[in-house]
Structure formats: structure tokens, C-alpha cells
Amino acid sequence: MEQPRAAARLQIVLGHLGRPSAGAVVAHPTSGTISSASFHPQQFQYTLDNNVLTLEQRKFYEENGFLVIKNLVPDADIQRFRNEFEKICRKEVKPLGLTVMRDVTISKSEYAPSEKMITKVQDFQEDKELFRYCTLPEILKYVECFTGPNIMAMHTMLINKPPDSGKKTSRHPLHQDLHYFPFRPSDLIVCAWTAMEHIDRNNGCLVVLPGTHKGSLKPHDYPKWEGGVNKMFHGIQDYEDNNTRVHLVMEKGDTVFFHPLLIHGSGQNKTQGFRKAISCHFASADCHYIDVKGTSQENIEKEVVGIAHKFYGAENSVDLKAL
């Protein structure tokens, strides 16, 4: 029964993007104080009815805004993603539309083309090998619990967090992903974020503020860090310091699913290795675009449009909804 459902979900994803071309698992225990309150089925707001999540998993996500599934993505797939990323770094493949990002401290370095030059690639939908992540039945099985069966892949990333230079620029400020997305409703959007190796506080694991998905979208801007901040690494300006923080220690293949209003970030990479993860934000096809003019998202729209105009010669009339 599972195979036909997985195949149907895959076709839906590919169809929406216009492209031609898991056994029993449990939630990963995490450190910190987190709540799994008592719910009645009618009270579920952030998860949908199906036979995938257990009652305890649904309660956990409803209360905390995230859920880690252990050992979800096979090692063989992780290795294939790693191999393709290395080809991109060596410029052996150049996928159409791919955005390549470098840390602010190494952007002008003399490194030869290698993973030492690139800290993140975004929008890899035209790279068939990396885009396989967004079509994995293991991933879509869980995505459907949050978006429903009509799934769209909206934003893709492979993150290669570099060893920190000493200026703490490998950090990612606390933020909400919805800041970057001009579509709603937020409850039908979910991020799948998969560790490509062991990740802990030493190499910059994710840190989340449980329960903050129940709040509203907060104003974001560049943090005033002395060492510099990477491009478009906006952070929340007015979060409460006394919020509980949970650091997500993950093994290769572990995947966290989280709500776009969940406040999260990551620390600096204190090791000499590059910390890798691959992710995709998914949304229901029932989502709709909004006009961000006059909202807290207007600043990121202007920045994105400016970048598009610089690199692609886009007209000034382009707006965030078209990118």
C-alpha cells in the first residue's frame, strides 16, 4: 500500500515543478526542556490526519514546532548528494539557476575551486542528482503529514558550514524561515533538513526555540556582529533571551521537520571540517502568494530583487513573488 502512495506523492511534486524527468522510525530525543502536552484530535492545528505520525509525534510537533526522525535518509543517497556537491565545487557541473554562496571571510580568497570556497548552494531544482532529495519517498511520506498530498518543493539548499575563521561568521542568527517566503498559510509549509554527517554543538548544529511556531512573524534584519554577517543572513531583532533553547544533535541521515515560524539558527563551526546538511522547504499547492509591501518582509524583497537585477539583469518591476 505504501509504494503506490509514495509514487503518487512523487508524481505530484514533479508535476507541480514542471519537471520531465522507511520502516518503523521514532522521534529523536533532544536535550533541553520540551513539552508534549495533552491534545484532543480536534485541537491539532499543525499536523494533518494520516497513518504516518504516531499520536505522540503529532503531540510533540503541535507543542514544539519540530520533529526529528532518526536514520530517515539512506547513507547511499547522502553519499550521492555529497559527490554531486563536490562536482559543483570543482565546476564540473553547472546547474541552471543555481545560487552559489561563500562565507564573507573567504569570498575573496585564493582557494582553488573546491568545497573550501563554497558554503551553500541554493535553488538546485535543475540539478537532477541533488533534486532527488526532494523526491525521496522517505521524505515525502512525512512532508505529507504537514502539507497534505498536493506538495510543492519551494526552496532547496545544501549547506556546507565552514570551519569558523575566528570572526564567528559561520554562525546563523536566530530567524524564522517565513521571513523569506511570500506565501501563506504558514501552517501548510514545512522544512525537511537532513544531516549529511554527525552534527553537534562543536560543528554548528541547529538550535531551536520550542513552541515559538505558535507566535507571529517577527521583524528581521542583519545582526550587528563585529566579525561580519553573510549575505541575507537576517536575524530576529526582538526575541526574548529567556526562551528555552534546544540543540539538535543529529547523526547522518537524521531529518528534522519544522514549521516556518519556528525560531531557529545555528552556532559557529569550531572544528576543522565542513558541516554538511541538505534541505528543502515544501508547501501545499493550496498556498497562495501575498504582497509583502508595507510588511516586515519588504526589506528582504528589496534585497532579493536587487540581487536578481545585479546578476540576471531583471527589471525593477520584478517582485518577490516572481522569484
Q: Say if CB 118 and CB 88 are below 8 A apart.
A: yes
Q: Is residue 35 in a domain?
A: no
Residues 119 and 268 in one domain: yes
Residues 103 and 217 in one domain: yes
Instruction: Residue 267: give the domain boundaries.
Output: 46-290
Cell 505522540 sits on residue: 56
* H helices present in 113-258, as ranges: 128-135, 137-147
Q: Is residue 175 in a domain?
A: yes
Residues 267 and 298 in one domain: no
Give kind and range of the element (H or E) at residue 76: helix 75-89
Residues 305 and 272 in one domain: no
DSSP 232: T
Residues 307 and 163 in one domain: no
Domain count of the fold of the chain? 2
| Per-residue model confidence as pLDDT tens digits over 276-317 | 999 999 999 999 999 999 998 998 898 888 877 776 665 544
> How many other C-beta atoms are found inside a 10 Å radius of the C-beta of residue 3?
8
Strand ranges across the sheet with 66-69: 66-69, 255-258, 189-195, 275-284, 151-161, 120-122, 99-101
Residues 58 and 141 in one domain: yes
> With a threshold of 0.85, does the pTM exceed it?
no
Q: Is residue 87 in a domain?
A: yes
Residues 284 and 309 in one domain: no
Q: Is residue 5 in a domain?
A: no
- Here the CATH number for the domain that contains residue 161 is 2.60.120.620
How does pLDDT run along the chain (323 residues), one tens digit per residue?
455 565 555 555 555 444 433 333 333 434 445 665 555 556 899 999 999 999 999 999 999 999 999 999 999 999 999 999 999 999 999 999 998 887 666 655 556 666 778 999 999 999 999 999 999 999 999 999 999 999 999 999 999 998 987 877 777 889 999 999 999 999 999 999 999 999 999 999 999 999 999 999 999 877 775 555 556 677 887 767 778 999 999 999 999 999 999 999 999 999 999 999 999 999 999 999 999 999 989 988 988 888 777 766 655 444 445 44
